[in-house]
Amino acid sequence: MPDPVILVVGSLHYDIMVESSTLPRKDETAVGSRWYPKFGGKGGNQAVSCAKQGVPSRMVGAVGQDDFGRFLLEKLASAGVDSRFVAQVAGVGSGMSVAIMDAAGDYAATIVSGANLQIAPESLTDPAIWDGVAILVLQNEVHEAVNMAAAQEARRRGIPTLLNAAPCRALSSDFKALVDILVVNAVEAEMMGSDPVCCLHSAADAAHHLAAEFEAVIVTAGGQGLAVWTAQDETFQLPAEKVQVVSSHGAGDAFIGALAYSLAGGNGLKQACQTAAHAAALHVSSPHQA
């Protein structure tokens, strides 16, 4: 039997990374030490993360017909991601972001969506997109109409949908009903209505709160670990591995890619979370750039 395919529908960004001793405050001009381009976008990063796990990864997205777009397509290809369904849109620039990372490895970023807002929802009905797909992965860097179309098609085909609700935004009740697994970090959980998350106990409370509207919820709490709650009132917590953090940039995408890989392979949610947490720990403790 062929390996199961992970389908990622989402964003592609040309990231400009800036390193600085500190993050600038409002109205402050900080002096950085270096900058470099990096492949990015939550969709693209998660598709590449899946491919790094050795599982077939397929991407649906859009880029402009520009140098940034060519860079993004080349990076997808070199990572082994199936990019046949990434549209090249005329007359609009590719998505991009500028991220500033400080000496502690923390970062702040601003994105410009560009071509990512041109993904056609009707394109998600193409049967070739869904050939061999075991799980659908979504984020919030594209229009909800695109996510809705993808999730509806996945539900029609009996394929589970995993939503990484980042960046946080209001979600329609119709879309929430199509999400099988919600993954949010501490900030996103609070923005979606939970109490503040500061430890594993509060992460579990946040997951319980969100499980009123989702089948299964994973709340990640950085160096504390993660908590899971399902609509059937099944719950567990996983403390984080203790590692020396080099950079937290992209850790969430590494987590999602490994989580989807494990679930696509038929593992249960607890084992998949263990696999994903380990992948995130390796990611934050390793140097990584373009």
Q: 190: buried, middle or exposed (CB in 10 Å: 19+, 13-18, 0-12)? A: middle
Tell me if 266 is assigned to some domain. Answer: yes
- Which residues, in sequence order, are bridge partners of residue 39? 14
Strands 82-89 vs 57-64: parallel, antiparallel or unpaired: parallel
161 domain residue, yes or no: yes
Distance of CA 211 to the CA centre of its chain: 20
- pTM given for the model: 0.91
- Provide the domain count of the chain: 1
Enclosing domain of residue 132: 5-22+34-179+241-284
Query: Would you say 260 and 135 are in contact if contact means Cβ atoms under 8 Å apart?
Result: yes
Per-residue confidence (pLDDT) for residue 52, from 0 to 100: 93
Kindly list the catalytic residues.
253
Determine the pLDDT at residue 289.
47
Q: Is residue 215 part of a domain?
A: no
Whether residue 249 lies inside any domain: the answer is yes
- In whole angstroms, what is the distance from residue 82 CA to residue 87 CA? 12
Block means of pLDDT (10 residues each) for the chain, 290 residues, are: 90 95 90 94 95 95 98 97 97 95 84 95 97 98 97 98 95 97 96 94 96 96 93 89 78 93 95 94 75
Strands of the sheet with 95-101, listed across from one edge = 32-40, 13-20, 95-101, 107-112
Distance of CA 284 to the CA centre of its chain: 15
Angle, alpha carbons 156-45-288 (nearest 5°)? 160
Task: Quickly count: other Cβ atoms within 10 Å of residue 85's Cβ.
Answer: 18
Domain assignment of residue 190, yes or no: no
pLDDT of 288: 62
Residue 187: inside a domain, yes or no? no
For residue 232, what pLDDT is reported? 84
Asked whether residue 252 is domain-assigned, the answer is yes
Where b means 16+ CB within 10 Å and e means fewer, 139-171 reads bbbbebebbbbbbbbbbeeebbbbbbbbeeeeb
pLDDT at residue 1, as a whole number? 62
78 in any annotated domain: yes
What CATH code is carried by the domain that includes residue 47?
Answer: 3.40.1190.20
Q: Which pLDDT does position 286 carry in this prediction?
A: 83
